């Protein structure tokens, strides 16, 4: 299941690096959102062009296929930072303190190992497509840029996982329930309280105007 999470901050070097890296991840996520917006615009143009002028966008399917890699992978590191990936936490949700951080640390180490394997494999696919000049079927659109974005995005994810390994290792060493730079699972009551506080803040801003 997916859970609501929050990431704590302090004045440590770990937290400063986390916030700095978050800015970079946010830019990449925004880029992925822009790609989706452009796809919506392209789809609208294609439909209207076909309907009104009987002139669809040339290579529409090719453009859609290539863009999918960008919006699917550019936000993957940001999602990991925010704890937004779907996960089964029926067992982990019942653990607290140092045992929880040990469990999370082992999980992130495993994810890093899998990610490194995927980086290697996806880079080989990119290199092969680049060397043979692989292209799409309709308008011969080069495929290697879409294949390149996969190892690049996974490499950024690997850096985020390394940062989280640092954070969880620190949490294991220090104990406690409030480590920084890692997503903390919130219960339903905490989520409701945060949403209510945010809503009240918006209402007060509106009344101030």
Domain ranges of the chain: 5-208
d(CA 181, CA 177): 13
The CA-based dihedral angle spanning residues 37, 41, 43, 48, taken in that order and rounded to the nearest 10 degrees: 160
Q: Give the pTM.
A: 0.86
How many whole angstroms from its chain centre is CA 160?
Answer: 10
Q: How do the pLDDT tens digits run along the chain, 209 residues long?
A: 444 568 988 999 999 999 999 999 999 999 999 999 999 999 999 999 999 989 999 999 999 999 999 999 999 999 999 988 877 777 777 888 899 999 999 999 999 999 999 999 999 999 999 999 999 988 999 999 999 999 999 999 999 999 999 999 999 998 888 899 999 876 655 556 666 676 676 556 666 65
Residue 2 pLDDT: 47
Residue whose C-alpha is closest to residue 66's, from 37, 44, 43, 35:
35
Would you call 180 helix, strand, or coil by DSSP? strand
Helix (H) or strand (E) holding 92: none
Instruction: List, as one string, the DSSP characters of 85-133.
Output: S----TTGGG--HHHHHHHHHHHHHHHHHHHHHHHHHHHHHHHHHHHHT
- Tokens 């082992």 -> residue: 106
User: Tokens at residue 29, please?
Assistant: 């996520």
- Kindly calculate the radius of gyration of the chain based on its CA atoms and give it in whole angstroms: 21
């Amino acid at each position: 299941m997916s859970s609501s999470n929050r990431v704590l901050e302090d004045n440590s070097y770990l937290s400063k690096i986390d916030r700095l890296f978050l800015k970079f991840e946010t830019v990449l996520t925004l880029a992925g959102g822009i790609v989706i917006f452009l796809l919506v615009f392209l789809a609208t143009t294609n439909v209207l062009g076909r309907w009104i002028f009987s002139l669809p966008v040339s290579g529409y399917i090719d453009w859609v296929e290539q863009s999918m890699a960008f919006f699917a992978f550019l936000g993957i590191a940001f999602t990991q930072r925010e704890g937004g990936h779907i996960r089964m936490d029926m067992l982990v949700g019942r653990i607290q303190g140092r045992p929880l951080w040990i469990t999370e640390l082992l999980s992130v180490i495993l994810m890093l190992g899998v990610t490194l394997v995927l980086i290697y494999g996806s880079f080989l696919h990119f290199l092969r497509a680049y060397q043979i000049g692989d292209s799409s079927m309709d308008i011969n659109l080069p495929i290697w840029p879409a294949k390149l974005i996969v190892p690049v995005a996974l490499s950024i994810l690997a850096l985020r996982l390394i940062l989280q390994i640092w954070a969880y290792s620190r949490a294991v060493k220090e104990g406690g329930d409030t480590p920084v730079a890692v997503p903390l699972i919130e219960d339903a009551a905490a989520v409701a309280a945060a949403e209510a506080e945010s809503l009240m803040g918006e209402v007060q801003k509106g009344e101030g105007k």
